[in-house]
Structure 1
Amino acid sequence: MTAPADRYTVISADCHAGADLLDYRPYLETRHHDAFDAWAATYVNPYADLLADTADRNWNSERRIEELERDGIVAEVVFPNTIPPFFPSASLMAPAPTREEFEQRWAGLRAHNRWLADFCAAAPGRRAGVFQILLNDVEEAVEEIRWAADAGLKGGLLLPGTPPGSGLPELYSSAYDPIWRTCAELGVPVNHHAGSASPPLGDEPAARAVFMVETTWFSHRALWHLVFGGAFRKHPDLKLVLTEQGSGWIPGVLDMLDYYHARLVRAATKANTAESKFGAGLADSMGKGPSTVWRENCFVGASFMRPHEVPLRDRIGLDKIMWGSDYPHDEGTYPYTREALRIAYAGLPRDEIAAMVGGNTARVYGFDLGLLDPIAARVGPTVAEIDEPLKEPPADATSPVFAPGASVRVW
């Protein structure tokens, strides 16, 4: 099957979904039902978008398909969004304070994962579900990875962060080797999503602003932790995807990591210098340099890619970039995905656009283009449409891609 002659096959590498709160109950073991009922009766959802009349976009399969198709999108990688059972606010929180709460939160994540498998099965070939784990118990995490792979959750694993104060080993720790080994063995992508690694900062206006400034940086840390920790040397088939963290930072960070790698490895050969201890053993433990690891093992879920990032695509790696709509979030591009694609990609070669908006995502997550191309021939944005520069953003658009200054393309 070849791609549609005049349309793009758009696969969003960043969407979100989850069950309505009470709909998780059937996916829990019965021994947790009483505790779940007590928890649900007092739970106050902290997220306005999960209380609005549009919240069912998270779990209404038919509505999602209809809205995504209307927006020109034929398939999606599905990250979590709603609150799993027994969590205080979100599934990306630091570990539970007690063993009982830890066991309950694991049960809640398993309930979400099992709901997600059914949700993906409701649209065969059009959803790659991203399942959740906790890092407190590596053996349990490995067991869940194997279950998820068998259940067909092709979106892979959502890697929790280890923010300061979490009490967990850092991501470079060899404690997590069984997780990397299992993911590499089973072809399961490891995804790290923005917002999953920041420490709690409070609710003051300054704290919220600082969170916005720092949240992507805390998420970026997974890259250098796994690189310097040798995860890719030990497991060459491991795939890491960094999603909704922007993409313009990548060339500069790779330059920085290459610099420190070369500097520390070189220093380790000079035992009489003060810096030699910082590079001791690094060359043997991590293997290839950071830029090489990026080229061979890493990808970016470049949600609503901004125009100023597009000229960096060759330095990032054209085969690394996977566009995402962030549906159904307010900051996502729905219902103006076509306009968002125009503002970023108008005037680029067609094959480059095709790779970034769908081809790369199909390859990384195993989507069947033979199934999706005929749908795109019906609903996908046309080549001519995306090639037309966007002069004015939609007046009611809420995505940052349309924010003042975001549309300036720096060549």
Structure 2
Amino acid sequence: MTRTADGCTTDGRTTDRYTVVSADCHAGADLLDYKPYLEKRYHDDFDAWAATYVNPYEDLLADTADRNWNSGRRLAELEVDGIVAEVVFPNTIPPFFPSASLLAPVPTRQELERRWAGLRAHNRWLADFCGQAPGRRAGVAQILLNDVGQAAREVRWAREAGLTGGVLLPGVPPGSGIPELYSTVYDPLWAVCAELDVPVNHHGGSASPPLGDEPAARAVFMVETTWFSHRALWHLVFGGVFRRHPSLRLVLTEQGSGWIPGVLEMLDYYHERLVSAAGRSAATAESKFGAGLAESMGPRPSEVWRANVYVGASFMRPHEVPLRERIGLEKIMWGSDYPHDEGTHPYSREGLRAAYAGLPAEEVAAMVGGNAARVYGFDPKFLARIAARVGPTVAEIAEPLTEAPADATSPAFAPGGGVRVW
């Protein structure tokens, strides 16, 4: 590891402190503050909607809700946590949505126009919010998939507006009526993202189908929600998206990371069966299922992963860390999930210790910040100068965490490491 003239290592780390970039944070405007970002023709509709809207989320009604939009408070709290930069996903309710856009039901055709206006208002607010902390926030733009041309245009606008976090790919739950993600109808969207080097982010929790109101539905949701989010990976791989757009980058965020090696082996297995069936007797099951797929799918899924896919491994659990080489050290991006209750704030330093104590400093530096800086276009040297003031020291993170903070609410500190089976 060499040092530059300003005392930083080549990965942007100061010689004794880590440059920590959270690859998973959330923000949004206070409800009424979205109005100035709406086109004027929607102002009356917005006033009527806002007057009767009841926010369904306790955390957005609490006295800590301003963490979503109070730039000064946010920077201060992240710095105390040792974090110098963040990738900003949405959190608050955009205009005309019944709930947060990640979880809102698919709109009817009549609702689409207003929903699009609401998302554009959020994206414009987010560009200004990121501008309040230059070089420290990579905002993730929101789109809908019902109009692919409009989605592609919004991606272009977001790139020009400086939203370096890329685009948030909505989930497509079964039965939604929207084409599945493997459909070639989305090629104009993938094309513009590849052309502009815009990361495509798929966040956990956005792809589950409705489960009803029975009490057991909450438990089933917890078990299944990450799996439904994982589906984006094999849909895009088997849909040949990366063959047609080889420079496209996909980031799977807040879906765990321990599932990745096993799923890649499983996907490689099916890929091999389908590809090897080419030219065989049409009577075999593989030939029937694999007809025409050998050329269209492209490389093996594990090869696609190495070339095109990354994981936003929010508050990586200790049991996942031994899998880091199989996942790919250059693929893992730690996240705090600020300001969510399940996030590591205000114990991110302890969360980093729980996961990474005892590992080589170069590996830790990559997972806690270096990889995210590369994927989202942060300037490592600029961030390292801030980290020299607030970043956790190498010695601090090397110290094993023997006891979790008593009032910590993050699964990062759950007994057994918060094991996920998917």
Shorter-chain TM-score: which interval?
Answer: over 0.9
For 1:154-173, list aligned pairs within 5 A: 154-173=164-183
1:295 is the counterpart of 2:306: yes
Taking the aligned partners of 1:398 and 1:274, their CA distance within structure 2 comes to 49
Taking the aligned partners of 1:171 and 1:317, their CA distance within structure 2 comes to 25
Residue 25 of structure 1 and its aligned partner are, at CA, apart by: 0.2
Taking the aligned partners of 1:279 and 1:337, their CA distance within structure 2 comes to 47
What amino acid maps onto 2:287 in structure 1?
S
The answer for the alignment partner of 2:100 in structure 1 is: 90
The answer for the alignment partner of 2:342 in structure 1 is: 331
The answer for the alignment partner of 1:381 in structure 2 is: 392
Taking the aligned partners of 2:166 and 2:213, their CA distance within structure 1 comes to 32
1:191 is the counterpart of 2:201: yes
Under a length normalisation based on structure 2, what TM-score does the superposition of the two structures give?
Answer: 0.95
Render the CA deviation track for 1:231-282: whole Å, top value 9, x for unaligned: 1001111000000000000000000000000011112331232331111111
5+ residue gaps, structure 1? none
User: Measured at CA, do residues 26 and 305 of structure 1 come closer, stay the same or move farther in structure 2, by a change above 3 Å?
Assistant: same
What amino acid maps onto 1:358 in structure 2?
G
Under a length normalisation based on structure 1, what TM-score does the superposition of the two structures give?
Answer: 0.98
1:139 is the counterpart of 2:133: no
The answer for the alignment partner of 1:397 in structure 2 is: 408
Taking the aligned partners of 1:402 and 1:390, their CA distance within structure 2 comes to 10
Taking the aligned partners of 1:62 and 1:274, their CA distance within structure 2 comes to 60
Render the CA deviation track for 1:67-118: whole Å, top value 9, x for unaligned: 000000000000000010001112133431133x110000000000000000
Would the aligned equivalents of 1:265 and 1:280 in 2 still touch at CA under 8 Å? no
Residue 407 of structure 1 and its aligned partner are, at CA, apart by: 7.6
The answer for the alignment partner of 1:340 in structure 2 is: 351
Residue 290 of structure 1 and its aligned partner are, at CA, apart by: 0.2
1:37 to 47, 53, 66: 47
The answer for the alignment partner of 2:24 in structure 1 is: 14
For 1:75-114, list aligned pairs within 5 A: 75-92=85-102, 93-99=104-110, 101-114=111-124
The answer for the alignment partner of 1:366 in structure 2 is: 377
Would the aligned equivalents of 2:411 and 2:418 in 1 still touch at CA under 8 Å? no
Would the aligned equivalents of 1:14 and 1:243 in 2 still touch at CA under 8 Å? yes
Q: Which runs of structure 1 show a deviation greater than 4 angstroms over 4 or more consecutive aligned residues?
A: none
1:71 is the counterpart of 2:69: no
Taking the aligned partners of 1:407 and 1:164, their CA distance within structure 2 comes to 27
Would the aligned equivalents of 1:95 and 1:136 in 2 still touch at CA under 8 Å? no
Would the aligned equivalents of 1:268 and 1:278 in 2 still touch at CA under 8 Å? no
2:330 to 302, 308, 319: 319
Identity value in percent? 80
Residue 202 of structure 1 and its aligned partner are, at CA, apart by: 2.4
1:174 to 175, 179, 184: 184
Taking the aligned partners of 1:262 and 1:247, their CA distance within structure 2 comes to 24
1:275 is the counterpart of 2:286: yes
User: Measured at CA, do residues 213 and 265 of structure 1 come closer, stay the same or move farther in structure 2, by a change above 3 Å?
Assistant: same
Q: Secondary structure at the match of 1:328?
A: coil
Render the CA deviation track for 1:1-58: whole Å, top value 9, x for unaligned: 5221111000000000000000000000010001001111111111110000000000
Taking the aligned partners of 1:396 and 1:182, their CA distance within structure 2 comes to 45
The answer for the alignment partner of 1:249 in structure 2 is: 259
Q: Secondary structure at the match of 2:17?
A: coil
What amino acid maps onto 2:183 in structure 1?
S
2:239 to 226, 229, 241: 229
Taking the aligned partners of 1:193 and 1:69, their CA distance within structure 2 comes to 24
User: Measured at CA, do residues 211 and 407 of structure 1 come closer, stay the same or move farther in structure 2, by a change above 3 Å?
Assistant: closer
Segment of structure 1 superposing worse, 76-85 or 204-213: 204-213
2:365 to 330, 354, 359: 354
What amino acid maps onto 2:201 in structure 1?
N
Q: Secondary structure at the match of 1:204?
A: coil
The answer for the alignment partner of 1:240 in structure 2 is: 250
Q: Secondary structure at the match of 1:108?
A: helix
1:59 to 41, 52, 69: 69
Render the CA deviation track for 1:175-198: whole Å, top value 9, x for unaligned: 000000000000100000001111
Taking the aligned partners of 2:285 and 2:247, their CA distance within structure 1 comes to 36
Taking the aligned partners of 2:374 and 2:81, their CA distance within structure 1 comes to 22
5+ residue gaps, structure 2? 1-5
The answer for the alignment partner of 1:201 in structure 2 is: 211
Would the aligned equivalents of 1:16 and 1:328 in 2 still touch at CA under 8 Å? yes
Taking the aligned partners of 1:20 and 1:117, their CA distance within structure 2 comes to 15
User: Measured at CA, do residues 280 and 341 of structure 1 come closer, stay the same or move farther in structure 2, by a change above 3 Å?
Assistant: same
Would the aligned equivalents of 1:109 and 1:133 in 2 still touch at CA under 8 Å? yes
What amino acid maps onto 2:196 in structure 1?
L
User: Measured at CA, do residues 407 and 37 of structure 1 come closer, stay the same or move farther in structure 2, by a change above 3 Å?
Assistant: closer
Taking the aligned partners of 2:418 and 2:30, their CA distance within structure 1 comes to 36
